[in-house]
């Protein structure tokens, strides 16, 4: 049975992680894709920083064989990447286990991944690879597609569930909205960006688990 799982790794355990040392406020989002040997995680967004600055950091990073700027929106850009095939690491583990990355978001603290596997054996294979390579991963929820978690949420972390419920109960989804992201973030005592990330990821999980988007 198809299985959904989440995991986190420290920011510097994933390629591009060192960019956060220069730009701690940015967020990197990798677009959903089925990894293959020739095209693993080819597209990613970099947000909250002028694109020109990001390009300079990518060139200094050295983890990409090449990259192309696809969309330049000023303070955010979409890049197509060709990763260095000789670099052994977490990308190799994802490819070998044939995992489909549903979402991946990086901040200066950590990377949070959500992926789909054909069965739980694929996830176990990925865990073994990371353990053998000394990659420090933290596995979150693992559940069958369509199954509800014990808290009644579809694949949401506790923080994401809290954000979605608070937004809903506070009238954020009403027309016109009865609150805004800044007020909601203040209520939880976190930054605007952190709340926005939680709400976006939570909404993404709800859509992915309740609608046929494959």
Taking the chain (214 residues) in runs of 10, the rounded mean pLDDT of each run is: 83 82 87 57 84 81 77 89 73 85 86 85 90 88 59 69 91 92 92 90 78 51
d(CA 49, CA 174): 31
pLDDT at residue number 203: 87
Residue 135 is given by DSSP the state -
Which CATH number fits the domain that encloses residue 212? 1.10.10
Single residue among 100, 118, 145 that ends a domain in this structure: 145
Give the structural domain span for 107. 1-145
Q: Which residues contact 70 (CB under 8 A, 6 or more apart)?
A: 43, 77, 78, 79, 80
| pLDDT of res. 68 | 87
The helix/strand/coil state of 185 is: helix
Q: What global pTM score does this model have?
A: 0.61
The sheet that has 138-144: what strands, in order across it? Answer: 64-72, 76-83, 43-47, 27-30, 100-106, 110-117, 3-10, 138-144
DSSP 181: H
Residues 150 and 125 in one domain: no
The verdict on 192 and 103 lying in the same domain is no
């Amino acid at each position: 049975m198809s299985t959904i799982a989440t995991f986190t790794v420290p920011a510097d355990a994933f390629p591009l992680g060192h960019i956060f040392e220069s730009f701690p406020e940015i967020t990197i989002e990798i677009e959903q894709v089925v990894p293959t040997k020739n095209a693993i995680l080819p597209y990613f967004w970099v947000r909250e920083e002028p694109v020109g600055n990001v390009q300079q950091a990518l060139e200094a990073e050295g983890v990409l064989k090449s990259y192309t700027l696809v969309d330049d929106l000023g303070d955010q850009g979409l890049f197509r990447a060709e990763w260095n095939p000789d670099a052994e690491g977490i990308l190799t583990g994802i490819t070998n286990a044939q995992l489909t990355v549903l979402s991946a978001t990086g901040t200066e603290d950590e990377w949070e991944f959500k992926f789909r596997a054909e069965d739980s054996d694929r996830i176990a294979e990925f865990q073994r690879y990371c353990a053998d390579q000394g990659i420090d991963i933290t596995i979150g929820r693992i559940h069958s597609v369509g199954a509800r978690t014990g808290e009644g949420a579809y694949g949401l972390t506790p923080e994401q569930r809290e954000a979605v419920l608070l937004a809903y109960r506070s009238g954020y989804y009403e027309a016109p909205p009865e609150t805004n992201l800044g007020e909601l973030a203040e209520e939880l005592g976190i930054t605007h960006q952190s709340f926005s990330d939680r709400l976006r990821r939570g909404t993404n999980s709800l859509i992915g688990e309740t609608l046929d988007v494959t």
